[in-house]
Amino acid sequence: MAEQVAASRPSGALRRVLIPLALAQFICSFAGSNMNVMINDMSEDLNTTVEGIQLAITVFLVVMAALMIPGGKLTDRYGRKRCFNLGLAVYGVGAVLSAVAPGLGVLIVGNSILEGVGTALLIPPVYILATMMFTDVTTRARAFGAINASAGIGAATGPLIGGLIATALSWRAAFVFQALVIGVIIVLSRRDVRDPVPPDPTRSFDTVGAILSAVGLILVVLGILAADQSLWLMTGLVVAGGLVLVWFFLSVRATERAGREPLLSTSLFRSRTSNLGLVTQNIQWLVLLGMSFVVSAFLQVVRGYNAIETGLILTAATVGLLLTSMSAERLAKRRAQRTLIVAGFVGTIAGIVLLITLVSVGSRVWSFFPGLFLIGLGLGLMLTPSVNIVQSAFPEERQGEISGLSRSVSNLGSSLGTAIAGTILVAGITRTPERSYALALIVLAAIGFIGLVAAVLLPRPRTAAATTKPVDRTAQAH
Q: What's the confidence (pLDDT) of residue 86?
A: 92
Mean pLDDT, the chain, whole residue set: 79
Mean pLDDT of 192-209: 76
Mean pLDDT of 411-416: 78
Q: pLDDT (tens digit, 9 = 90+) per residue, 286-321?
A: 888 888 888 888 887 777 777 777 878 888 888 888
Query: What span, in angstroms and rounded, lies between the C-alpha atoms of 46 and 27?
Result: 24
Q: What's the confidence (pLDDT) of residue 55?
A: 81
Asked if 331 and 340 count as a contact pair (C-beta separation under 8 A), the reply is yes
The residues, ordered by sequence, that sit 6+ positions from 220 with a Cβ below 8 Å of its Cβ are 237, 238, 241, 242, 245
Asked if 282 and 225 count as a contact pair (C-beta separation under 8 A), the reply is no
Domains 10-205 and 268-470 share a fold: yes
SS3 content of the chain, % helix, strand, coil (to 5): 85, 0, 15
The DSSP code for 196 is S
Query: What span, in angstroms and rounded, lies between the C-alpha atoms of 230 and 226?
Result: 6
Q: pLDDT (tens digit, 9 = 90+) per residue, 88-120?
A: 999 999 999 999 999 898 999 998 899 989 988
Q: What's the confidence (pLDDT) of residue 182?
A: 93
Residue 464: pLDDT over 50: no
Pick from 57-66, 171-180, 271-280: least confident:
57-66
Asked if 156 and 376 count as a contact pair (C-beta separation under 8 A), the reply is yes
Q: pLDDT (tens digit, 9 = 90+) per residue, 372-387?
A: 999 988 988 887 778 7
Supply angle C-alpha 404, 410, 412, rounded to 5. Answer: 100
Which of 150, 217, 148 shows the shortest CA–CA distance to 387?
148
Q: What's the confidence (pLDDT) of residue 5?
A: 43
Q: Whole-model pTM?
A: 0.77
Query: What span, in angstroms and rounded, lies between the C-alpha atoms of 36 and 202?
Result: 43
Asked if 143 and 134 count as a contact pair (C-beta separation under 8 A), the reply is yes
Residue 59: pLDDT over 50: yes
Q: Domain residue spans in the chain?
A: 10-205, 268-470
- Between 204 and 93, name the one with better pLDDT: 93
Burial code of 261-293, b = ≥16 C-beta within 10 A, e = fewer?
Answer: ebbbbeebeebebbebbbbbbbbbbbbbbbbbb
Domain 10-205 fold: Growth Hormone; Chain: A; (1.20.1250)
Query: What span, in angstroms and rounded, lies between the C-alpha atoms of 65 and 74?
Result: 15
Q: pLDDT (tens digit, 9 = 90+) per residue, 229-287?
A: 677 887 888 899 889 989 988 988 888 888 887 877 888 888 888 899 899 988 988 88
3 state SS of 101: coil
Q: What's the confidence (pLDDT) of residue 40?
A: 79
3 state SS of 393: coil
Q: How does DSSP assign 287-315, residue by residue?
A: HHHHHHHHHHHIIIIIS---HHHHHHHHH
3 state SS of 153: helix
User: Rg of the chain's alpha carbons, rounded to an integer?
Assistant: 21
pLDDT band at 469 (very low <50, low <70, confident <90, very high): very low
Asked if 308 and 365 count as a contact pair (C-beta separation under 8 A), the reply is no
Residue 399: pLDDT over 70: no
Q: How does DSSP assign 396-412, residue by residue?
A: GGGHHHHHHHHHHHHHH
Residue 365: pLDDT over 60: yes
Q: What's the confidence (pLDDT) of residue 466?
A: 41
pLDDT band at 190 (very low <50, low <70, confident <90, very high): confident
Query: What span, in angstroms and rounded, lies between the C-alpha atoms of 465 and 444?
Result: 35
Q: Structurally, what CATH architecture does the domain formed by 268-470 represent? A: Up-down Bundle (1.20)
Q: What's the confidence (pLDDT) of residue 180?
A: 94
The DSSP code for 419 is H
Query: What span, in angstroms and rounded, lies between the C-alpha atoms of 74 and 210?
Result: 11
Mean pLDDT of 211-219: 86
3 state SS of 79: coil
Asked if 404 and 73 count as a contact pair (C-beta separation under 8 A), the reply is yes
Q: What's the confidence (pLDDT) of residue 453?
A: 94
Query: What span, in angstroms and rounded, lies between the C-alpha atoms of 109 and 169?
Result: 23
Which of 276, 249, 274 shows the shortest CA–CA distance to 264?
249
- Between 258 and 174, name the one with better pLDDT: 174
Pick from 49-58, 124-133, 183-192, 369-378: least confident:
124-133
Q: What's the confidence (pLDDT) of residue 328?
A: 65
Residue 433: pLDDT over 60: yes
CA 163 to chain CA centroid, Å, is 20
